[in-house]
Amino acid sequence: MFVLAVIYENCTGCHLCELACSFKHHGVFDLSLSRITILTKPEVQTSVQVYCLQCQDAACERVCPVDAISRDKNGAYIINYDRCIGCRECAYACPFGAISFEVEARPIKCDLCEGEPECATVCPHDAIVYMEEKKAVRELKKAKAAGVAYGLYGGKETSEYPRKKAEEAVEYLLELVEKSGELDV
């Protein structure tokens, strides 16, 4: 089985992965249509990728009232838009905020591009890589031993580090919203 592996410290926040994703799925370069989101905290030079982790026991699949979410042959959870009623339960259930919505209220999430993730293909610094799970685990253990932050999504072994980074990113975004005064949080 192939998995997405993330080495956070390699991410420069260039957003190429977001642009490639939106173009592959929608034919336009529009960050709001991307299935991956890059959160950047410039004061500490950190960027974090947020996208579907292809959880072993996916909450989005469990809560869908019409069974519109299922796992495909590549291990990705995909949405059957013919069945989807746009209730947003999947987005509410996702603990990582990895499901967003198009203008037409259709949910969008990472589908691993049918086994050839565009984000991994275009990443110039190998912050996102798609490889066989055993190889990914070996490589990421080497990275961990070297003190590099990483995450492994879709496999059996995961890191606690992505959650910590995601929590920092959420705190940062909430600070920005509170400072702007535009939204009531």
Give the pTM: 0.72
Report the chain's mean pLDDT, rounded to a whole number: 82
Query: Residue 108's domain spans which residues?
Result: 2-180
Whether residue 96 lies inside any domain: the answer is yes
pLDDT in tens, 82-123: 999 999 999 999 999 999 998 778 999 999 999 999 999 999
C-alpha span between 53 and 33 (Å, rounded): 18
Report if residue 185 sits inside a domain: no
Query: What dihedral do alpha carbons 173, 174, 177, 180 form, nearest 10°?
Result: -100
Residue 81 sits in a domain whose CATH number is 3.30.70.20
Residue 15 domain-assigned (yes or no): yes
If 0-12 CB within 10 Å is exposed, 13-18 middle and 19+ buried, where does residue 50 land? Answer: buried
- Residue by residue, pLDDT tens for the chain (185 residues) are 888 888 887 888 889 999 999 999 998 999 999 999 998 887 777 888 888 989 889 999 999 999 999 999 988 999 999 999 999 999 999 999 999 998 778 999 999 999 999 999 999 888 898 988 888 888 777 777 776 655 555 544 444 544 554 555 556 556 655 666 554 44
Structurally, the chain folds into a number of domains equal to 1
